[in-house]
Amino acid sequence: MLAGMAGQKSPKQQAKADASEKAKSADREWMTTAELATKLGWREHSLRDALRDRHLDGVHRTAFGYKIDAGAVSAIQTAIGAPPAKGNSSLKAKPKS
């Protein structure tokens, strides 16, 4: 490099997002499966299994998971029904005396 020239950044490098940009917006019109699971009383992985291979209004499959319309919560709850019973984990089994 010549002595008088300033170095240039690669055009691929971008400034990191501010904390405010990283925070989820409260005014968005969609939710994640984790947020929907909490709202409906499901476990997230069970909810994702219930949504798989179904074409429900308000549920959009993306490359990263699901994007759920906030206004479609009651319709989704009606379509998938009550949450399954939580199973007993064999890892938490009580030792026999």
Domain boundaries, the chain: 26-81
Min mean pLDDT across 13-17, 28-32, 73-77 is at 13-17
Amino acid, res. 15: A
Q: Helix H segments across the chain?
A: 19-22, 33-40, 44-51, 73-80
Q: For residue 83, which amino acid is it?
A: P
Of 45 and 96, the one with more pLDDT: 45
58 touches 68 (CB < 8 A): yes
- What is the per-residue pLDDT across 18-27, written as a single tens digit (0 to 9) for each? 555 545 556 7
3-state secondary structure 78-92: HHHCCCCCCCCCHHH
